[in-house]
Structure 1
Amino acid sequence: MTFDGVVGGVQCCLLLDTGSSINLMNKSVFDVLINRPPLQKTSVVAKTAAQDPLPLLGRANVSLKLAGQTTVMPFFVSESIDVPVLLGLEFLASCPCVVDLAGGQLVLTPSRVVRSVSASLVSVGRVIVQKDISVPPGHELVIPAFIPNSDFRGPALFEPNADMEGVELVPSFVSVSGQFVPCIVRNISSEPVTIRKRSELGQLEVGVAECPLAETESSKTTWREQLDLSQSDLSDPERSAVISLLAKYEDVIDGRLGFTPLVQHHIDTGDAPPTRSAARRIPPFLQGKVKAELDRMVDAGILEENFGSSWGSPICVVSKKDGNIRICADLRKVNAVTRIPAYVLMLALSSWRPTRLKTLQVPF
């Protein structure tokens, strides 16, 4: 019996196998878990139904959500299984339920039903529009989108889920480079349609067996492996509290760049005419590094390609001590015509009152 569930924050297909005594998870699924726990070494020896050895990479406690009910249970990670997640007797022991084979459903306690479905894809992340896109009537365009907080690269399936009036999003098999995802949109109306920046178009999905996720530098060493509290003065409960707090906000400290769609900054230049400066020449020995860094920033959604703007400022290349470069912009002409808003800020000393000073009585 197979059905959908949410494992570690990722929706994927689950296979219930009463012939297995343990819960198993494919490594490609474990690599994309949103709340990924540390992988611990295990001495358990597993075998397949044919009594062949089944190599295990480790064991981790992962949350499983079914029909609104969340339970944390152990999963053994392996690269040698051909399903995303396999639930064994450990699952049945943790979640009392009734398996209804005739009705093709799993009934959890109390009276929560999980329908049996067939699926074989794992969601990599949401697909977001990089910039405002205007689609002319009756046209089909390939627009740039990206996946925030994801290092996935390779072939994947774009599955639209947005409902936009006058626009048809085409499900397609795409090749993902960095965070860049090409998406096909069609304007089926008689009027131009604008897709706003930061709009969510759909999900990027990848087949577990056919398209395993490549191991990246960020996945090799996690903050859990780097964190060492053994030499601290914290007690065991305090150490556990620190680790729980960091795990709660793990997406903030995972080393990847995030974003918020709630605020959009606007530079007020008033009635000033646009300014444009000529591009500066890049030294030949830096051209390769500059191109690679610009491509990385475009793929990550930091920069956007814009060929129709009347504003233009040259870039400045700054060398770092480690040999890498930093891309900066010379915005002095823009700053000269920018209206800077004024905000009343409190002085640092005005937010607190010294306790050793005498209280002054001020008559009113």
Structure 2
Amino acid sequence: MPSPESTAQAFEDRYGRRPDGVWSAPGRVNLIGEHTDYNDGLVFPFAIERRTWAAMGRREDRTLTVHSGAMPEPAQASLDELGPERFDGWSAYVFGVVWAMEQRGVDLSGRTGFDIMLASDVPLGAGLSSSAAIECAVAIALNDEWELGLTRRELIYICQLAENGAVGAPTGNMDQTASLMGEAGHGVLIDVRAETADPVALHFADEGLELLVIDTRVHHEHATGGYGARRKSCEDGAAAMGVASLRDLTEEDLPRAVEVLDDETFRRVKHVVTENARVARTAEVVANEGPRAIGDLLVASHASMRDDFEISVPELDLAVETALANGAVGSRMTGGGFGGAAIALIDADRAAEVEAAIEAAFADAGFTAPIIFVVNPSAGAHRDL
């Protein structure tokens, strides 16, 4: 598995010198609150111990290079010719951050370029935000290297702009907020409209619980597919209801919404409105009653994503159903949907039993074997070396 030291050594092997430093940012699991962030809503993710490391060293010219052991060829760009039309594939997550910094007012004139080596143990396409981990690791590295003095909030917006404008994925900033603002042992209750990110102690270990991630290995990409269509449905629903965003609606508005909206748009709106309520309730319950009391909220969230937002897939449904049938406190799909991962909150001493049951269920269904592992609420982005 990669580490700060191995990433620094990979940089030295590739570029022939030691890096100036190594920075890292975590992936995230969203405990609850899906497709609410771009609707000015509430989300409740936490940073995980799986991270992306970025070893960086300055150059004498204005060239940017990036290499990753997971990619066969390095990528290169110039500080003088930055633009989304020049980015290709995975390197857009790196060069897009530099471009987004310039778009948000960072003066790149007189800046020297850099060499960078990436290493990661965040699974790709699993709904654990491997993209935000790259963006945030690069952003904090550049913030230090170029002595920009940008706040974490400013870095969140820069990374979101990179995702939206350079990569082309129409996501909100939940992933970047969790990656940059996470704290060990805590979730991050994010109010997108209010621009707040409050730590909430989760107490999983105190209650003898673990959070299991079931990576279905059904990969997704937010820049394509149904993500954009869901976002448009939300925008159309808000416009038809005469509000700026779906955050302005509550469950009391749903009887009127069913009269105003077509069936599909209503179900999209219903998911977001009820999911916001579930997020607020989950944060309240976990703080006052403990994590064992949130199971029904997780299950209701999955049902809403499956039936109303229609972003689940058979592999995710099977993972959730099997976990619950084998004693999970709660379970749901996590992430943007159309593949990716599910989560299950389980008693730690039953982890092997639940894992075996899910693997057997996938085999019986003829699905690709899932990758299953435990995650813990961990620290956000920081410098490692």
Normalised TM-score (structure 2): 0.24
Higher RCO structure, 1 or 2 (CA under 8 Å, sep 6+): 2
The structure with more radius of gyration = 1
**Higher percent of residues as helix:** 2
**TM-score, normalising length from structure 1?**
0.25
Which one has the bigger strand percentage? 1
